Amino acid sequence: MTLDWTTLTDGDLATLSIAGREAAFAEIVRRHRQSIFRMVRASVGEADEAMDLVQETFVAAHQALSRYDCDRSMRAWLSAIAINKCRDWGRKRTVRRFLAFAMPIGPEAEAVPDEQVGLDQAAGDRQELDRVTRAIAELPTALKEALVLRTIEGLSQTETAAVLSISTKAVETRLYRARRALADSLGITSA
């Protein structure tokens, strides 16, 4: 008899995965990969980097599955792991930027391809989405994380507070500041 993985709770899937059922963890990934990708993509601003970080998130989750509390939301737990992966990525990126400025640039730097999308390839809607995504990625980390978790991923204010280890009032304040900074960055004026 085979199990219908789609009918099981995240807690049941975690328990089965710990017991060695690979298909159980595959179902966890299937259920949550899109929301985790959206959150990470909004956080880092680059789709390729986001894919790598999502993979790292699920690898870390699989390794830490025995510490998952079945009473807690799997989505919130995975979001916390993803946020930590994004923070790590940001720190590494800062170090790389520093080293890039500290090291002399040789002729091999000119051989690096330009990753900008040609204007003829980009549609208006896609350009606007990319512009907003970049603007979100440029927000300060504390504001970006609250905005992505609450607004983009739809976690409740309480879940967002739990993921970020802050109060619900702090979430509310960060959301207000993030929205205001985003509107300023995008040149949106309130009427």
Tens-digit pLDDT string for the chain (191 aa): 577 888 999 999 999 999 999 999 999 999 999 999 999 998 888 888 999 999 999 999 999 999 999 888 999 999 999 999 998 888 877 666 655 555 555 555 555 555 554 544 445 667 777 788 888 888 898 998 898 888 888 889 999 999 899 999 999 999 999 989 988 888 877 54
Is the alpha carbon torsion for 183, 184, 186, 188 positive or negative? positive
With contact defined as beta carbons under 8 Å apart, do 80 and 60 qualify? Answer: no
Tokens representing 110 are: 């000119």
Number of other CB atoms surrounding residue 58 within 10 Å: 20
Number of other CB atoms surrounding residue 42 within 10 Å: 23
> Where do the domains of the chain lie, and which CATH numbers do they carry?
7-100+123-186 (1.10.1740.10)
Give the pTM: 0.63
